[in-house]
Amino acid sequence: MEIKGTYRLTYTIDRELNDLVLAIELKWIDGLMKKGQNVWEGKATFNGQPYEKYDLSHCVNAKTTAERIGHELRDEIKANCKAEGKSFRIKKEEIK
């Protein structure tokens, strides 16, 4: 079980450099818990802002979750660029 996971992507759109940073951290749930509830809950930030598109209440490994969500974001950006006729290039992809 990994408590912290980070996905970093440096890419260009029409030769303009952009960065994407997705950080996921598992935090201990405070207070009373229900029977069978997971004691860890995932919190995600996307470029420093809270990211709540995915339900991370059942997240067990932050690194693999960051990788999975990061790849979905990358593919979404790539598809948008292709639809708009823009050039998309990956410069660096890093998973910690």
pLDDT in tens, the chain (96 residues): 899 999 999 999 999 999 999 999 999 888 777 787 778 889 999 999 999 999 998 888 999 999 999 999 999 999 999 999 999 999 999 999
- As a whole number of angstroms, the distance between CA 12 and CA 7 comes to 17
- As a whole number of angstroms, the distance between CA 81 and CA 93 comes to 18
Compute the half-sphere exposure of residue 81: CA atoms within 13 Å on the CB side of its CA: 17
Containing structural domain, residue 9: 4-95
> pTM of the full predicted structure?
0.87
User: Domains in the chain: how many in total?
Assistant: 1
